Amino acid sequence: MTVDIRKPLKKFIPLMEEARDDGLNEADTVLRLCRFFEEVLGYDGLRDISREAELKGKYVDVCVKIDGRVRLLVEAKAGNVRLRDKHIEQAQSYASRNNYRWVLLTNGIDWYLYHLTFDEGIEYERAFAISLTAEGDLDDAATKLALIHKKSLAKGQLDEYWDMTTALGASSIGRALFHENVLMLIRREIRRDGGVLIDREDLAKALHEMFTPEAREHIGPLKVRRRRKATRAKRALVHPEALAVEPRPIANHGIRISRSA
């Protein structure tokens, strides 16, 4: 269960809106963000928060640590700056050199959290996006921001949230849905209910078109995943008798074996 931060969060929202309306610069916005991490998200300002970390000429505005280990990079913008994904380029370059997985981009009002992977180059996906305004959804903002609370991060709750979000994402569901086994089950149910036998490829196409264009982009081109044929060795793990060799009778070929008395 995540930490309830609604009360301190509600207190801070007017301060963030004030920073935006007054055109507070980036440096002053960082100061407010550091206070936010202390008073709302439970971090120690002296031990857990570092300013302007540098590696090979690359800087990141704030590093958030737990027990001396960096767990979150924060890229800050002035309160009146509209956030764009490209704003995390400097932080993601820093993250890639250290294998850091989480980057937060914020101007105090808008908060975008990104998960990074480095398998083939640097790739990032937005884990959540929320806005802190008096008219916004306080409960939703509190629930999502609580995931980067010190206690939540220490317990691995942010990683659990990401694993669940990924599992329920369009690409994950698409891979499962367009598997040959799943399509055969759906096809069987349609035939049972309506008495119509549908071609498997037509069914896959109809399902693919049910998704939104954005979801189809995540799923990728329509492709039915086939069942893999089990090798003889793998079948033997389930049915050991598959590899058993029956003993062959020894042919006599007319040879007489004499026994000594």
Q: Encode pLDDT of 210-252 as tens digits.
A: 888 888 887 888 888 887 665 555 555 555 554 444 444 444 4
Q: Encode pLDDT of 152-186 as tens digits.
A: 999 999 999 999 998 988 888 888 888 989 999 99
* Token pair of 242 as six digits: 């598959």
Rounded average pLDDT over 39-57: 84
How much is the pLDDT for 101? 92
Domain ranges within the chain, ordered by starting residue = 6-158, 171-239
Cα 233 → chain centroid: 35
- Pick 237 or 8 by higher pLDDT: 8
How much is the pLDDT for 43? 97
Rounded average pLDDT over 185-199: 90
Domain covering 6-158, topology: tt1808, chain A (3.90.1570)
How much is the pLDDT for 142? 96
Q: What percent of the chain has pLDDT over 70?
A: 84
- Pick 217 or 41 by higher pLDDT: 41
